[in-house]
Structure 1
């Protein structure tokens, strides 16, 4: 009975523990990537947002798909409803098809 209780306890408590990996908010990514397009990098504060952007990569069995990657990155940035679509287009034109 004790051997069943301990794993059950950990399964119940696991969702309550804070996650060490936090995904960046889409608006934060838009802000940081727009700064990067204008030559004003955000420094250490923007490193996780930039990683979140460049971690969005689409591949198939033949390799990297730049157009699909750009579409997926654009879809992520569009989750920020307050972002200007022109700014998002500028970010995608400059960084959307690059490999992370």
Structure 2
């Protein structure tokens, strides 16, 4: 019974497209060229996940807290380029979701 459950879980995990599973590294890759990425359906989950990170203070949007949370998220990607991360955060770290 346990082997069947494990095999079933592995099958389900393998069936999920990689693009559905957003990741900090994928987000960095996509946002490093926002104009090109905004036209790619493969980047939508990564961009959506990044821009869904929004923090509030006293029921108002907090750019500084949002920036910190987005920075923490991007830096979970250890293999990325810190310069690219900081450029992305300077442009998109403290704003609400842009249209794309």
- Is TM (by shorter chain) over 0.5? yes
Match of 2:37 in 1: 41
Unaligned segments of structure 1, at least 5 residues: 1-12
Matches within 5 A, 1:72-87: 72-87=69-84
Asked if structure 2 preserves the Cα contact closer than 8 Å seen for 1:23 and 1:52, the reply is no
CA–CA separation in structure 2 for the residues paired with 1:24 and 1:35: 17
CA–CA separation in structure 2 for the residues paired with 1:93 and 1:60: 21
CA RMSD, Structure 1 to Structure 2 (Å): 2.1
Give the count of matched residue pairs.
83
TM-score normalised over the length of structure 2: 0.72
TM-score normalised over the length of structure 1: 0.72
Unaligned segments of structure 2, at least 5 residues: none
Structure 1 residue 56 corresponds to structure 2 residue 53? yes
